[in-house]
Every structure is written in structure tokens, then in C-alpha cells.
Structure 1
């Protein structure tokens, strides 16, 4: 079973993403900021990361930049934000995201993106 780490400071957003992913058969874990996410990634393995941009302590960009510098198995990351400009998308990819999606996500959009990055797309 594929494991997804949902990183977002908003409990409602984490719940929404968790329900979509678990309903499709993924196992999920959650982190409320980039610091907690780094701790979880170093303690356990995940197949995919869902990363919010705006979080206290360590934002999504900082988290991905730190993670990509570590000598650990790397996993794909979907960065999710309410910001929709090309500059936001470019910054996300430069930070280490594999894909950039704009909130609010539709369930089929999230699942299709996850399937592509996990090599499960038909």
C-alpha cells in the first residue's frame, strides 16, 4: 500500500486530503509544518508528499529545499497552494516539487496527480 504524507497547517485541509486518499486505498500520515514533516520523513518511508506552501516554522519551499539536500531516499512531492501565478509554480519546482496544484483540489485531480507520480496511471 502506498504511503502519503500530508503536510499542511490547516486541520480541515489535512482531513479533506486524507479522506480522498484513504478512500482510494492510500495509507496517510500528517504533519502540521515542515519541521514535523522532516522528522517524519527521516523516521519512516513515504511514497508521496503533499506539501502546503504557507506554514509556520518551516514553509513548504523550505521543507522541500532541506529534504532534497539530504542523503535519504527521495520521493515525489506535490506542492499545493492558493497562489496560482507562474512565479509561484516556478518557485515550487525550483524548491524541489514535482508538481504544483492550486487549491481547492478536486478529488479526481488529486488522485490523478498522485497516480501519475506514483507510476500508477493507466
Structure 2
């Protein structure tokens, strides 16, 4: 069975790009349109990895991570930020909240797949 990945981004084009890259690499991909949607989907289903944007309406990615990490079943799920932000203080805040890694947009889909494989060990 392939790893299940949740992508969370308010941009339809980024969701499409990440979905194509990850599904072509053999992963089962689900999508969410903002942090609140991502939080709800992560609570309803079990994912092996979450890839999330930072800046989104309704709930941003950092708040979503903080909320996920309060749920015992979600504490060990790796989370990768995929964002336009590159501020060092923000990266530290994200890491402290529970983010596993950080990839800056625009991104190379092949690089995303490499990072996902490394994080998942697959």
C-alpha cells in the first residue's frame, strides 16, 4: 500500500502540481483548501505525511500544525511546509510548532518527491 499524503494549499495550481508530482511517484494524495479543511481531513483520516502552505485564508498552516500537534494520534505525522516564506524566525517558529521540513515556492516537483521519500524513508 502506498503512503497517504494530505496536501493543504489555497492555490488550485499548487494543489494540482503537488498532486501530479506525488501521485506520479506512487503516493495516494488527498487535498485540502486551507488549514481548517486540512485539520478536519487529518482528524477524519490517517495520513503518513502532510504538505502544507503557510499563508491561507480561514486557518493558516502554522495554526493548523499547532492544532494537529495537540491531538495524540497526530504527533508523529511528518509535516512539510511548502511556502513562499523564507524568514529564519518563521522557520524556527514552524519547527517549534512541529514542522518536519521546509520547501520554498516556487519549487521543483522532483525535489518535492525526493524530500517526501527522505522524510517517509520510502
TM-score range, shorter chain: over 0.9
TM-score, normalised on structure 2? 0.94
Runs of 4+, deviation exceeding 2 Å: none
1:1-122 paired onto structure 2 within 5 Å: 1-73=2-74, 74-120=76-122
Q: Which digits, 9 at most, give the CA deviation of each residue in 1:51-96, with x for residues without a partner? A: 1000111100000000001121431000111011212221221221
- State the alpha-carbon separation in 2 of the partners of residues 31 and 114 from structure 1: 18
Task: Give the drift of 1:100.
Answer: 0.9
**More moved, 20-29 vs 64-73:** 64-73
- Runs (5+) with no aligned partner, structure 1: none
Work out whether residues 54 and 60 of structure 2, in 8 Å CA contact, stay in contact via their aligned partners in 1: yes
- State the alpha-carbon separation in 2 of the partners of residues 27 and 61 from structure 1: 24
Q: Alignment length, in residue pairs?
A: 120
SS of 1:46's partner is: coil
TM-score, normalised on structure 1? 0.94
- Runs (5+) with no aligned partner, structure 2: none
Q: Which digits, 9 at most, give the CA deviation of each residue in 1:20-56, with x for residues without a partner? A: 0011001100001111111111111101100100011
- State the alpha-carbon separation in 1 of the partners of residues 111 and 6 from structure 2: 17
Task: Give the drift of 1:103.
Answer: 0.5
